[in-house]
């Protein structure tokens, strides 16, 4: 995630702005460095807009408070020529003179990259098995025909990305494309195409991820990432929730560095903290500030004393409810080699990759252990199920292979404090100095690519090397984190404060893989 190139815009719900301490908002600003902040506005929230203006040194957009003569205002963002049209509300679309999208090649000065309108949302009527686009008629009236306009809305969660084709005359929906980046951008002449992209909070296991980062590149909007607000400010420190944050603020501690400047003894006097928690907070704050991990207690790393290191593995599937494991990547630290088992030919064949992987693993490396990041929630879980089902002959052997989960060891079992705002592997590894391959992929994108292959059967479209490089990158990143933890200084086990889950999966990875899969 390092090396952001494009212009960033931050979308924040008013509730988040009003509830979080100003210091947290400032930390969000310092970390994400947005070119503008958009306070989502289905209703007027002047206090929230004022608060964010006070906290953050960037232009603030709050649609209900947009001024200017026209119903639609034009807002340039940053220095790269990015510009939005902002609609105070959907009814304003009718009043305006219409807007022009960037793909409109004339040099009209009202040209914009996207339209911001928080009233745009979908309404689902399960009894009719229908989802409709709110204000489709207003959009049809205001937007140019025959081409696509991007509409950003806080009325839908970040990650929402669908292209709606609406008849210009009537406002009735013709069709909806579910994979806009891959669909040919052809729009009927009598139609308005609206690429609707969400910027609202995403529900996660730990509550809503409400801090939405929109990153724009020269070729248009490329990504949205949802962060949890409690990954910023003092709340990012393990053991500090909103109540403790309030109490800390009462004694003047509102940032991580202020917390570090406060003696442990003083922290321990704050109501509800105590000496053990205070020590742990201090340690975690140190880790976050320095980027250096710490080990807590004397537990050895899984496999640390084995004669050969574990094999680092990572799997790729076709989605969060996988129907196939189509890639298994294995990095062997002892030889510094990587091996990928990939199903390139027949996506209906669930067995071959597993078979080849098991043959190799049990034949060549019968005595090695496996290492994953959060594998008990994803990789091991699905590998176990798939081996039992598709390679039953190996089921018993698979069961007996020693399996380690570095994430579980570090976070779940409280054996280490990790730097990074979240516990996602790429974030932690980057924080620990791992220089990634920057494939531009993530789990969801690689899954979507394979799904297309499954549907079309045309493997030539798929950039196999890129997808293998992505998987390999994760395996190597895992080993990098392992090595850094192996070398990390150890502090005595003084506490086992509940490791407040501070993972914030991105919009695309929101479910399944990360935290909170409690045993129901």
Interacting residues toward other proteins by CB under 8 A: 91, 122, 124, 126-131, 133, 156-157, 159-160, 162, 176, 178, 198, 202-205, 318-323, 347, 381-382, 384-385, 388, 448, 451, 454-455, 510-512, 516-520
Task: Please list, in sequence order, all residues whose beta carbon lies within 8 angstroms of the beta carbon of residue 115, skipping any fewer than 6 positions away.
Answer: 72, 84, 85, 86, 87, 99, 143, 149, 150, 151, 152
Q: Which is nearer to other proteins, 103 or 352 (CB)?
A: 352
Closest CA to 406 of 255, 494, 304: 304
Closest CA to 114 of 33, 215, 225: 215
Q: Which is nearer to other proteins, 197 or 284 (CB)?
A: 197
Q: Which is nearer to other proteins, 478 or 507 (CB)?
A: 507
Closest approach of other proteins to the CB of residue 442, in Å: 14
Q: Which is nearer to other proteins, 244 or 509 (CB)?
A: 509
- How far is the C-alpha of 203 from the C-alpha of 510, rounded, in Å? 8
The strand pairing partners of 215, in sequence order, are 8, 223
- How far is the C-alpha of 178 from the C-alpha of 183, rounded, in Å? 8
Closest approach of other proteins to the CB of residue 32, in Å: 23
Cα atoms in the 13 Å half-sphere on the side-chain side of 234: 28
**Are 469 and 439 in contact, with CB atoms under 8 Å apart?**
yes
Helix (H) or strand (E) run with residue 216 in it:
strand 211-217
Q: Which is nearer to other proteins, 246 or 435 (CB)?
A: 246
Q: Which is nearer to other proteins, 10 or 156 (CB)?
A: 156
Closest approach of other proteins to the CB of residue 198, in Å: 7
- How far is the C-alpha of 277 from the C-alpha of 414, rounded, in Å? 13
Q: Which is nearer to other proteins, 27 or 513 (CB)?
A: 513
- How far is the C-alpha of 434 from the C-alpha of 417, rounded, in Å? 17
Q: Which is nearer to other proteins, 200 or 293 (CB)?
A: 200
Closest approach of other proteins to the CB of residue 54, in Å: 29
Closest approach of other proteins to the CB of residue 507, in Å: 10
Closest approach of other proteins to the CB of residue 517, in Å: 8
Closest approach of other proteins to the CB of residue 220, in Å: 20
Closest approach of other proteins to the CB of residue 99, in Å: 21
Phi-psi region of 124 (alpha: psi -120 to 50; beta: other; left: phi over 0): beta
| Tokens (6 digits) for 194 | 């609206």
- How far is the C-alpha of 368 from the C-alpha of 305, rounded, in Å? 13
Q: Which is nearer to other proteins, 159 or 329 (CB)?
A: 159
| Tokens (6 digits) for 236 | 């990012």
3-state secondary structure 35-50: CEEEECCCCCCHHHHH
- How far is the C-alpha of 251 from the C-alpha of 262, rounded, in Å? 10
Determine the 3-state secondary structure of 348 from DSSP.
coil
Closest approach of other proteins to the CB of residue 244, in Å: 18
Determine the 3-state secondary structure of 132 from DSSP.
strand
Closest approach of other proteins to the CB of residue 389, in Å: 8
Q: Which is nearer to other proteins, 170 or 456 (CB)?
A: 456
Handedness of CA 317, 322, 326, 331 (dihedral sign): positive
Q: Which is nearer to other proteins, 432 or 447 (CB)?
A: 447
CA dihedral 459→463→466→468, nearest 10 degrees, is 10
Closest approach of other proteins to the CB of residue 323, in Å: 4
Closest CA to 254 of 277, 232, 273: 232
Phi-psi region of 78 (alpha: psi -120 to 50; beta: other; left: phi over 0): left
């Amino acid at each position: 995630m390092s090396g952001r190139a494009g212009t960033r815009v931050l979308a924040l719900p008013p509730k988040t702005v009003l509830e979080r301490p100003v210091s947290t908002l400032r930390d969000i600003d310092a970390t994400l460095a947005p070119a503008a902040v958009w306070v989502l506005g289905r209703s007027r929230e002047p206090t929230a807009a004022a608060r964010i203006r006070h906290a953050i040194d960037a232009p603030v957009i709050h649609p209900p408070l947009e001024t200017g003569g026209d119903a639609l205002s034009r807002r340039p963002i940053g220095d790269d020529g990015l510009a939005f049209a902002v609609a105070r509300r959907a009814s304003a679309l009718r009043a305006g003179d219409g807007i022009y999208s960037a793909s409109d090649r004339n040099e009209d000065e009202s040209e914009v990259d996207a339209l911001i309108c928080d009233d745009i949302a979908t309404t689902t009527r399960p009894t009719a098995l229908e989802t409709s686009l709110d204000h489709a008629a207003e959009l049809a009236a205001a937007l140019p025909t025959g081409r696509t306009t991007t509409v950003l809305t806080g009325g839908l969660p970040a990650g929402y990305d669908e292209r709606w084709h609406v008849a210009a005359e009537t406002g009735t929906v013709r069709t909806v494309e579910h994979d806009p980046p891959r669909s040919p951008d052809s729009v009927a002449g009598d139609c308005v195409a609206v690429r609707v992209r969400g910027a609202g909070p995403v529900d996660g296991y730990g509550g809503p991820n409400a801090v939405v980062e929109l990153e724009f590149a020269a070729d248009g909007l490329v990504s949205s990432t949802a962060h949890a607000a409690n990954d910023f400010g003092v709340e990012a420190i393990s053991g500090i929730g909103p109540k403790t944050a309030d109490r800390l603020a009462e004694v003047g501690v509102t940032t991580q560095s202020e917390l570090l400047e406060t003696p442990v003894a003083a922290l321990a006097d704050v109501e509800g903290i105590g000496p053990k928690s205070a020590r742990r907070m201090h340690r975690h704050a140190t880790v976050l500030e320095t980027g250096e991990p710490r080990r807590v207690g004397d537990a050895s790393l899984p496999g640390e004393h084995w004669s050969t290191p574990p094999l680092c593995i990572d799997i790729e599937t076709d989605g969060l409810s996988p129907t196939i494991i189509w890639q298994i990547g294995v990095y062997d630290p002892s030889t510094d080699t990587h091996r990928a088992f990939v199903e390139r030919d027949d996506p209906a064949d669930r067995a071959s990759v597993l078979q080849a992987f098991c043959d190799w693993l049990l034949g060549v490396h019968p005595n090695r252990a496996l290492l994953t990041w959060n594998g008990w929630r994803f990789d091991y879980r699905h590998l176990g199920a798939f081996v039992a089902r598709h390679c039953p002959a190996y089921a018993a052997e698979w069961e007996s292979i020693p399996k380690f989960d570095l994430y579980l060891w570090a976070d779940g079992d409280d054996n280490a404090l990790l730097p990074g705002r979240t516990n996602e592997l790429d974030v932690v590894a980057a924080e620990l100095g791992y220089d990634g391959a920057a494939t531009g992929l993530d789990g969801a994108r690689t899954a979507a690519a394979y799904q297309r292959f499954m549907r079309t059967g045309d493997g030539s479209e798929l950039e196999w090397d890129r997808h293998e490089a992505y998987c390999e990158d994760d395996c190597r990143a895992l080993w990098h984190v392992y090595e850094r933890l192996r070398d990390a200084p150890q502090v005595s086990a003084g506490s086992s404060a509940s490791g407040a889950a501070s993972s914030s999966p991105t919009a695309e990875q929101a479910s399944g893989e990360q935290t909170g899969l409690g045993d129901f």
